[in-house]
Structure 1
Amino acid sequence: MLVSRLKIMLSATEVSGDIHAANLVRAIRKLCPSTNFIGIGGEKMREAGVDVRAFTVHMGTIGLLEGIKYYPSFLKIKSMAEKILREEHPDLVVLIDSRDFNLRIAYLANRFKIPAIYYVAPPVWAWPDCKTKRLDKKLTRVRAIFAF
């Protein structure tokens, strides 16, 4: 039986997400060494063997004013993510933290019928109900690293 090589896209825009993504990649590689990883993230992901298409960890923000500063960059990276999803059609998308950015990626993955898992999910209990419903409609699975 021929098994095709699994391709996973990861998206992490913060330092902690970059570290969690790198650890996840190493764990998956132990189980399935031929897995191909592409993504948006940082140096830790690259060191773990991810083909990082955009380095974003320097753009992790807290608050509206910091977010505005990086908004043009985030739009460009969102377009790049859409191109990856459309042209390379990964088997799975793994989103790590970064609620506002990664919900857009979840929407795109859903549009291209690619399963998306939110790993290190943001705290949904702090969200308005409408955002929680959006999350539910766009994701295949949500995984939290802490028990709440």
Structure 2
Amino acid sequence: MTVRRVYIVAGELSGDNLGTGLMRALKARHPDVEFRGIGGPGMIGEGMESRFPLETLSVMGLVEVIKHLPELIRVRRHLRADALAWQPDIMIGIDAPDFNLGLERQLRQAGITTAHYVSPTVWAWRQGRIKGIARSVDAMLTFLPFEAAFYASHRIPVAFVGHPLADELPLTNDRAMARAALGLDSGTAVLALLPGSRANEIRFLGDTFLDAAEQLCRTRPGLQVVIPAATPKRHEELKALLAARPGSPAGHCCSKAVLGRPWWRLTPSCWYRVPRRWRQCSATAPCWWPTGWHRPPTGWPVDWSRPNGSLSPI
């Protein structure tokens, strides 16, 4: 089968990375294929005609979604009309299930073949969504083999395509080489802060991430902290966030990193002043220590007599 037109909608930077690899693979098999939809720098570089900026769909949290709901509805209506007029051979939604599955359902009802790349975690929770997925896609493309088995058990066409990072990352990692590339000491503990690629993740959670790192540095002298910057824009936002903290020279930017993305390195000595503030944290998912820790280590300043737990003023 010759594929001439592919409509792809990615919702954030991770989707752009996946879409870039997907487009390259499709072009290798179908050199004359055309692409249209929503993509970021990588997909545009591969020939995507992006109808809206990638950031249009990069919203997080209930409040942000409600705030941007009219715009999101307008964008989806525009994409539906655009795809119907362009008549692609297939429409592929990359992740962003709350946006893409609805669009896929509308296009499938209009006779366009649809696929969804990156399975929602329907196998883990809200399994009732499987009925909506069945109405939306002609095929689900999964990262993990057990996901494929799950969809097959529900009689939804599925293909296990694997995770693209498996082709980029070595099976074994040279820790010493990685630390040397990032300018980190080889024998000292390292904390990686992973705020994500969305602007609002830096805007709303950036200070919380840094507060957590500062607290850990005070309890773990010598701890080294690194922060990956997903895009040049996120890089500048992180730089501004760090520079706004009195006494912090904002570390320095390491030019080499995993997959070529820049990282910020923060030295523990640069943090000597921490704002006095209260941080409210959920007792089941504390906001400032790793997911899965239902209580902090002994000695951390948390008052569990409070209903939701809270940090003492630092």
State how far apart, in whole Å, the 2-side matches of 1:104 and 1:127 are: 19
Superposition deviation, residue 5 in structure 1? 6.0
Q: Spell out structure 1 runs of 4+ moving beyond 4 A.
A: none
SS in 2 for 1:125: coil
TM-score normalised by the chain length of structure 2: 0.44
TM-score normalised by the chain length of structure 1: 0.89
SS in 2 for 1:122: coil
State how far apart, in whole Å, the 1-side matches of 2:106 and 2:42 are: 25
State how far apart, in whole Å, the 1-side matches of 2:109 and 2:124 are: 26
RMSD: 1.8
- Give the equivalent residue in structure 1 for 2:70: 72
More helix by percentage: 1
Structure showing greater Rg: 2
Give 1:43's match in structure 2, choosing from 17, 41, 44.
41
Alpha-carbon deviations, 1:50-106, whole Å to 9, x = none? 111111335323321121232222112101111122211111001100010001111
State how far apart, in whole Å, the 2-side matches of 1:62 and 1:5 are: 34
Matching of residue 132 in structure 1 with residue 126 in structure 2: no
1:2-81 maps to which residues of 2 (within 5 A)?
A: 6-57=4-55, 59-81=57-79
- Give the equivalent residue in structure 1 for 2:143: 145
State how far apart, in whole Å, the 2-side matches of 1:122 and 1:55 are: 23
**Cα 1:126/1:72, change in 2 over 3 Å:** farther
State how far apart, in whole Å, the 1-side matches of 2:8 and 2:132 are: 20
Superposition deviation, residue 131 in structure 1? 1.6
- Tell me the number of residue pairs that the alignment of Structure 1 and Structure 2 aligns: 146
State how far apart, in whole Å, the 2-side matches of 1:82 and 1:27 are: 25
State how far apart, in whole Å, the 2-side matches of 1:83 and 1:146 are: 33
